[in-house]
Each structure stands twice: as structure tokens, then as C-alpha cells.
Chain A
Amino acid sequence: MAVVETRKLNKVFKRGNVGAVVNVDLQSREGEFLVLLGPSGSGKTTLLRMIAGLEEPTSGEILIGGKLVNDLTPRERGIAMVFQSYALYPHLSVFKNIVFPLKAQGMPKEKRLKQAEWAASLLGIQHLFDRKPRELSGGERQRVALARAIVREPSLFLLDEPLSNLDAKLRASAREELEQFQKRIGTTAIYVTHDQVEAMAMGDRVVVMSQGAVRQIGTPADVYDEPADTFVATFLGSPPMNLLPGPDVIVGFRPEHFLPPGVAERLGEHISFGFQISHGEYLGAERVLYGTIAGGAFDGRTAVSRIPSTHAVSLPDGSLQTFAVALGDVKFFDPGTEKRTSRRSIPA
């Protein structure tokens, strides 16, 4: 089982341009499911391709299992990769697709067959062996791609948005399956996605990236509850964290912590805000209220509140209410660097 490490890794595609990957220091743990999360163009796929050996770093080091692999070709790195498009070989049958890496290794025919059957049985696709990729559904293709990746028992698994081509319903079940599957085989996996739900659900740890740089590495709870900067705070969560810029501090709190009268009183130490509700959305399990802060230092700033539908409080559109946030749920960010800072007094 390999641990991947990158040291000061950089990639610049065109000289003079901003780097696609900037000074990335990363260390995965044994058997971990590490998710690279970021918006498109954040450099997560480039980072993955550099680890795979498909892209040459401009500077920096990549280590797999403690061994420097910068100068090794993809085949020498002992990795397997699942592509967003699955990249199944269209002219070969499913069986031949699965044994392709084994054949390239020069494994004897009988052993190849045994390995292919093992991989296919793990994913339940033995019955598809004779089909061509174009005769498969999206979900089946994804399984074949996975089977091809695990068949030679790689030391590291790289996955580049493997679920993004599936429809929403299939994606949810495939996500669960993939997660279970990785736990079962216990191989370290690096998974690229722009979908925060996927990242939170699957990742042992999440690496949040933006503009080529790593903004925060942590467990899903860490990055959600203790965001390192305003980017992480707003990229994760839907609706995103409320950020109220004050004169010398940015105050942030999650919509689900911004609570209506009747609930707010039960909080211990808390801060109250006047909340002018502009409109609300009823989403079944919860209500999302949009509006602006009324009065005080943040007067006129937009804010969002998310409350469970079980709180049967009447909050009509256009009304002015007093909402509150527990002091422990308020995060503070430096307006200059946009990074988290220690607790400060809240401007009145």
C-alpha cells in the first residue's frame, strides 16, 4: 500500500502564465480515501495527472511509497487510474479491456483469466465479458473501468470524476458502492471531484483546492466546521456560509446556525441580529430564508437561514425578526488575507 507525497509541486503550462498547480504539499495516509475538491480550473485534475505521470511537473517532487517517482513513466509507478470518460478501449470486448493491463505486464494467459474473473466478480460484471463498450450502459461502463483498474492490484488508485457521467440517481448508489469497494480492497485512493456532496460523503480527508493551491486539508467535518479561509467557507455548504464583512473583521456563520426566535433563546451565549426576510423557500425537510441584516454594523448585508421544517414558527416574507447565532458557531476571518483569525469582538 502506497502513501503518496508531493513536495512543493508546481505546474506551469505556458511560461509567464499563472501556475495550474502552485506549491502543493500533500501527504496521503495508508489506505485512505483522499478527495481533491475544487471548482473547475482549480488544478485538481492536473495534480492527479502529475501523480499518475501523465503530466510532467514544472518543479517539485512526487513520492509514492517513499520512492521518488518524478522520472518514472506511468507504467513504472504501479498505479491505476479511472478516467472521467472511463477511457474504455472501444475496439476491445469487456474481457479484453479488463485484461489489457495484465497483458501489457506479460502475465501468463491462465493467470490473466483468473485475475479478470476475480475483478469482475467483485463488481458483478462477469456476464458482460463478451460485450463491446458501446453496448454498455453508463453504470456498466463505470464498473468495467473500475475492474480494469483493480485487476492488477495497484498500490494506488487514482480516480478522476468517475461519477460525473452518471445520472443523479445512479450517481448516489455508485458513490456508496465505490466507497464500500475502496474500504474492502483497502487501497489508497485519490479521488478528484468538483461535487462537494461526493467529497463530504466519500472522503476520509478532503483537500480543498482553488487556483492551483491547496486551501485546506482535513476531514469532511474539519473543512466544513472549521474552514481555513473564506473560499473554503463559501465553497462548501449549500447555501454557503454567511459572510458579513465588518470594518476590521469578516464574521461568518452557517445558515443552519442562524436561528429564528423561539429557538435562538435556547442557545447559550449568542449574538442577535435583526433579520429582514425577503423571501423563503420550502424544500420539504427544511426551509431556506433569504434576507438582509437589519441594524447594527452589518446593516443591509445579505444573509441566509436554513431551518428544519419541524420548527413550526411563522416567518412570513417581508417580516422583520430577531435571529441569533451561538457564539461558538461564529467564525472570524481577516479581511485582508481572508484567512481565519482568532475570535474577536463583534462590532455592534
Chain B
Amino acid sequence: MARRRLTWMLPRIMMWLVRIFFAVVLAFPFYWMLITTFKRNTDLNNLKNNPFLFTEPPTLDHLRLLFHETLFPRWVLNTMFAGLIVVIITLLLALPAAYALARLTGEWGTRLGIGVFLTYLVPPTLLFIPLSKVVSFLGLQDSLWSIIVVYPTFTIPFSTWLLMGFFKSIPRDLEDAAMVDGLTQWGAFVKLMIPMSTSGILTVVIFAFTLVTQEFVYALTFISSAAHQTVGVGVPTFLVRGDVYYWGSLMAACLITSLPIGFLYNLFLDRFIEGFTVGAVK
């Protein structure tokens, strides 16, 4: 009896141990960011103190520095604005492109699709010299619009390719049925293909938005004034001065920007998994 109980319990205990282990490992950076945000510098810089616990009482100094002595709120707004516009541009162009490549261009569709994807593999560091020419030609130097114009050049190829896979996984019969049921090809695309690809579209939204928040090279080169910068560039440029790192404020900035994205991911987790594994099982 006891033995049977053990064989029943053991796998469950093991499963929970594995779960707890990964939960701790993955949550740990957030915990460290959180505790550093509220630690006094004297506590933080004393090597004898345990870095994961408060030795001295917590403080709000780092948040005060972040919000009052840098343009952090402005950077967040800039990032959100650029992110939103980039997402819109990406969806407006990638959705029809992916649909056309998946359904309308016949045999050439796949080859063109691979071609589109290959452009995504060109390293951004190679592209930024010609692109800076384009930006200056358009007169967009030191403006948020410079990155809004440039980012879609990476987001569109990848998103097109991703959405292509999505559209291909939708049986053709459904579209035929929609057309017999009275829709035009465009109607079938808007009323059937798009609603059925929500997972793919969400994946594209997150991908494009995350790219805007974390991209560094272009944002740094094209934008010089603090007021126009994004979080990804503003925070490290203004909170690392020479060899002085404002750890508390840096961590606070990271925490504040990463938490909403983390929550968003979790909210749509199942759909993302579907988004990234589409076509994996046929």
C-alpha cells in the first residue's frame, strides 16, 4: 500500500520540483531588478552585504532620479508611439503581402517568400550606413520618424514570412466556401483569413513592438537629442555616465518597461505558442 502510494507520489513530486526550479530561475532576474530598484547605494556597493536581501532600509531615490532627472517618461511615450506606428505599418503591408504570396502567386509564391525572408538575414550593422543616407535624404535626422521609417524594413520581411505560414495552414476549402457563400477574394481575406489568423497577427504585433523597445544601433545613430530617444537607448546612455553605473535607476527602468510586455505575453501565451509552432505538425 505504502509502495503504491510512493509510486503515485514520486512523479508528481518530481514534476513540481522541476516546475519550481524553472519558475525560480526565470523569475530571478525580475526579483533582482525589483530589490536593486529599492536599495540604497551604500547597501548596493558594499560587497559584504548579501545582494539579494535588504541590509539597510529601502529607498525611493533611484525612482526619483529616473523620473525627475532623466527624460524616462518621455522615452517611454516615444517608444510606445514609435512601436504603435511600426506595428500598424507592419500589419498594413505584411498581411496583404503574406496573403498574396501564400495564395495568389502560385509556384513563385514560395520562392518569393524565401527571398523576402533572406533580406531579414542581412545584419543590421551592415545596413545602417546606406540607411543613414536614406534617413538624411528624407530629412529625418534626429527625429523619431527616422526609426519609424527604418524599423519596418526588418519587421515586414519577417512578419510576411511568418504570416505566410499562417495563411498556408488555413485550408483552401474555407476560402472557396467563403467565395461560393458570396464573398469576393478581398472579402474572404478580410472577413475570413484575418480573423482566423489572430494568433499570427498577435505574434507579429509583439515581435514588432519588442523590436522597437530593444533596438539599439539605429536608434543611437539616427537620433541624438535626448528628447527624441526611445527607452532602449535613452536609459543606457543617460544612466551610464563614464564608468559610473546608476544601478538602481537602471534596474527600475528595466523593470518598468519589461513588466507590461511580460504580462501581455502571459495573457496571450497559448496563442503565441500556436503562433510560433504553426505548420510544425501537418
- A: which residues have CB within 8 A of B? 49, 52-54, 73-75, 79-81, 83-85, 87, 89-91, 100-101, 104-105, 148, 152
- B: which residues have CB within 8 A of A? 171, 173-174, 176-184, 187, 192, 195-196
Contact B181 A101 (CB under 8 A): yes
- Given A75-B184, A104-B187, also A85-B173 (CB < 8 A): yes
Contact A105 B174 (CB under 8 A): no
Q: A89-B174, A90-B196 are in contact. List 12 more A-B contacts (CB 8 A).
A: A54-B179, A75-B179, A75-B181, A75-B183, A80-B181, A84-B173, A89-B178, A91-B195, A101-B182, A104-B178, A104-B183, A104-B187
What residue in chain A is nearest B185 (Cβ atoms)?
Answer: A73
Contact A87 B187 (CB under 8 A): no
Q: Select A105's contact among B173, B179, B182, B195, beta carbons within 8 Å.
A: B182
- Given A75-B182, A90-B196, A101-B181, also A54-B174 (CB < 8 A): no
Contact B176 A87 (CB under 8 A): yes
Q: How far is the CB of A184 from chain B (nearest CB, A)?
A: 22
Q: How far is the CB of A213 from chain B (nearest CB, A)?
A: 25
Q: How far is the CB of B154 from chain A (nearest CB, A)?
A: 30
Q: A74 CA to B178 CA in the complex, in Å?
A: 9
Q: Select B179's contact among A74, A91, A148, A152, beta carbons within 8 Å.
A: A74
Contact B181 A100 (CB under 8 A): yes
What 3 pairs between A and B have smallest CB-CB spacing?
Answer: A104-B182, A87-B177, A101-B181
Binding site secondary structure of chain B: helix
Q: How far is the CB of B175 from chain A (nearest CB, A)?
A: 9
Contact A80 B180 (CB under 8 A): yes
What residue in chain A is nearest B181 (Cβ atoms)?
Answer: A101
Contact A81 B180 (CB under 8 A): yes
What residue in chain A is nearest B196 (Cβ atoms)?
Answer: A91
B184: chain A residues within 8 A (beta carbon): 73, 75
Q: How far is the CB of B252 from chain A (nearest CB, A)?
A: 42
B192: chain A residues within 8 A (beta carbon): 89
Q: Select B180's contact among A52, A85, A89, A90, beta carbons within 8 Å.
A: A52
Q: A73 CA to B179 CA in the complex, in Å?
A: 8
Please, could you name 13 A-B residue pairs with CB atoms under 8 Å apart, sorted by A? Answer: A52-B180, A53-B179, A54-B179, A75-B183, A83-B173, A87-B171, A87-B176, A89-B192, A100-B178, A101-B181, A104-B178, A104-B181, A104-B182
Contact A87 B179 (CB under 8 A): no
Q: How far is the CB of A76 from chain B (nearest CB, A)?
A: 9
Contact B183 A54 (CB under 8 A): no
What residue in chain B is nearest A80 (Cβ atoms)?
Answer: B180
A104: chain B residues within 8 A (beta carbon): 178, 181-183, 187
Q: A81 CA to B173 CA in the complex, in Å?
A: 11
What residue in chain B is nearest A145 (Cβ atoms)?
Answer: B177
B179: chain A residues within 8 A (beta carbon): 53-54, 73-75
A148: chain B residues within 8 A (beta carbon): 181
Q: A85 CA to B174 CA in the complex, in Å?
A: 9
Q: How far is the CB of A327 from chain B (nearest CB, A)?
A: 50
